[in-house]
Amino acid sequence: MIRCFGKESLFKKATYLILGSLILLCIFFLGLQYYEMEKLHEKNMHITQQLIGTLAEQYPDKEQEIAKVIFSVKDSNSIEKGKQTLEKYGYGKGTGMQEDILFKDFFYDSLKTNLLLCISIIVLISSIFIYLVRYFISKLQSISLNLDNIIDGNFLVETDNVGEGILSRINFKFQHMARIMDLSLEKTKIEKEKLKSLVTDISHQLKTPLSSIKVYNTLLSEENLTKEENKDFLDRSAIDINKLQGLVDSLLKVSRMETGMIELKIEKNSLKETIINAVNGVYLKASEKNINIVIDDFQECWVFHDSKWTKEAIFNVLENAVKYTDLNGKIKIALVDLVTQVRIDVEDNGIGIREEEFNKIFKRFYRGNSEAVKNTEGSGIGLYLTRKILEEQGGCITVDSIEGRVTKFSLFLQKCYEG
């Protein structure tokens, strides 16, 4: 318990003040006692001097005997004789200190001195008590003020967390709590804005295919359509339904990723196998356009990554390469081993990307402004999802392109992942 008190700054202050005050009081008290004894000694000397002087004046021939009697050791007979003599003149046990003409001056002086000492003790103790109470109240008022600020939504509180003790720990914990609440509120605001933006984007993306399907259904309800027209509208409706299905699937992936519903399983897996699985996903579409996919002969590479979602990230890049590469084009895939990372390069000889769009293409729902992009089916989610998947694993994606000639995406993954 004593050790615990020693850590508390409030108890330290109180202990130092009390000990210091006690030392000062002891010094003050001893000084007063010495002063009183000095006065008593001086008074006794005056009485002795007066007595010897008076007797010597009355009996000058017996001055030496008088001095010897005064300073000699008193025997009990002499004391008793003196006592009886003084009682005849009303000076005995019944005489109070304040009535004693020989002692009353000293009595009143001593009374004043002791009264001053008591007042000093009361003032000192009161001052220490008031100081400690004011110190404690000021700390509580600071905490109360900060609580009011937090209630009002102001989390940038200032607290005095210097030193040891329970108040300093409370201040530190209080400031830490305010920071957490501020960060939590800021995170909630950001998530709210993200959700609002996501809902707006989803609404916009779903509106076009739904409107088309609605128009086709209205036209199909007319009875005067020929079989050819009926089939044409059904085919167009099927295209929009497939597009809508793909869009919904992409939106679900994005929303699950952004809301933290997807927990990546970061394990040491074969990156070569992940790349081949992604290539298999686009191989059929590439074959339809007679696009040659060339995979460099690279060694087996084991890297910490989520094989399922990393495959999705690579697939999205490859799918875009197939979409925007002309017939008989070429896609080249290479794996580069770096010091702390591995880099997957996906290069195609398609339509290319303008330099001012390098950062924009990784934003959600962004699609290029070229006619080739506008005339190609897509949702603008693939590259955004790829970026999110890689960033969740400590990686990133970059792009370099020459418009109309070549585009190269570089996907980076950490060799050592710390979750």
DSSP 128-155: HHHHHHHHHHHHHHHHHHHHHHHHTT--
Q: What is the pLDDT of residue 11?
A: 67
Fold of 156-262: Helix Hairpins (1.10.287)
Q: Is the pLDDT of residue 1 over 60?
A: no
Task: Please give the model's pTM, rounded to 2 decimal places.
Answer: 0.53
| Sheet of strand 330-337: strand arrangement | 292-295, 330-337, 341-348, 406-414, 396-402
Q: Amino acid identity, residue 33?
A: Q
Residue with tokens 């992940």: 274
Q: pLDDT averaged over the chain? A: 79
Q: What is the pLDDT of residue 6?
A: 52
Q: What is the pLDDT of residue 305?
A: 92
Residue 291: CB atoms within 10 A of its CB come to 22
Q: For a pLDDT cut of 70, what percent of the chain falls above it?
A: 82
- The answer to which of 61-70, 83-92, 245-254, 362-371 has the lowest mean pLDDT is 83-92
Q: What is the pLDDT of residue 292?
A: 94
Q: What is the pLDDT of residue 94?
A: 62
Q: Which residue has the higher pLDDT, 330 or 245?
A: 330
Q: What is the pLDDT of residue 270?
A: 92
Q: What is the pLDDT of residue 2?
A: 46
What's the residue count for the chain?
A: 419
Fold of 267-414: Heat Shock Protein 90 (3.30.565)
pLDDT range class, residue 348, cuts 50, 70, 90 = very high
- The answer to which of 82-91, 337-346, 357-366 has the lowest mean pLDDT is 82-91
- The answer to which of 72-76, 297-301, 359-363 has the lowest mean pLDDT is 72-76
Burial 393-418 (b: 16+ CB within 10 A, else e): bbbebebebeeeeebbbbbbbbeebe
Q: Is the pLDDT of residue 103 over 60?
A: yes
pLDDT range class, residue 200, cuts 50, 70, 90 = confident
Q: Is the pLDDT of residue 149 over 60?
A: yes
Q: Is the pLDDT of residue 104 over 70?
A: no
pLDDT range class, residue 315, cuts 50, 70, 90 = very high
The stretch 301-320 carries a mean pLDDT of 92
The stretch 345-372 carries a mean pLDDT of 86
- The answer to which of 6-20, 109-123, 135-149, 208-222 has the lowest mean pLDDT is 6-20
Rounded distance between C-alpha atoms, residue 377 and residue 373, angstroms: 8
Q: What is the pLDDT of residue 4?
A: 46
Rounded distance between C-alpha atoms, residue 13 and residue 5, angstroms: 11
Q: Which two tokens stand for residue 43?
A: 């008074």
CA dihedral angle for residue 217, residue 221, residue 225, residue 227, rounded to 10 degrees = 70
Q: What is the pLDDT of residue 371?
A: 74
Rounded distance between C-alpha atoms, residue 24 and residue 37, angstroms: 20
Rounded distance between C-alpha atoms, residue 399 and residue 409, angstroms: 5
Q: Is the pLDDT of residue 100 over 70?
A: no
- The answer to which of 26-40, 74-88, 350-364 has the lowest mean pLDDT is 74-88
Q: For a pLDDT cut of 90, what percent of the chain falls above it?
A: 21
pLDDT range class, residue 310, cuts 50, 70, 90 = very high
- Is residue 383 a contact partner of residue 317, using CB atoms and an 8 Å limit? yes
Q: Is the pLDDT of residue 419 over 70?
A: no
- The answer to which of 158-162, 172-176, 183-187, 287-291 has the lowest mean pLDDT is 158-162
pLDDT range class, residue 113, cuts 50, 70, 90 = confident
pLDDT range class, residue 91, cuts 50, 70, 90 = low
Q: Which two tokens stand for residue 416?
A: 């050592």
Nearest CA-CA partner of 311 in 393, 373, 372, 231: 393
The stretch 197-201 carries a mean pLDDT of 70
Q: Is the pLDDT of residue 47 over 80?
A: no
Q: What is the pLDDT of residue 389?
A: 92
Q: Is the pLDDT of residue 40 over 70?
A: yes
Residue with tokens 């202050």: 13
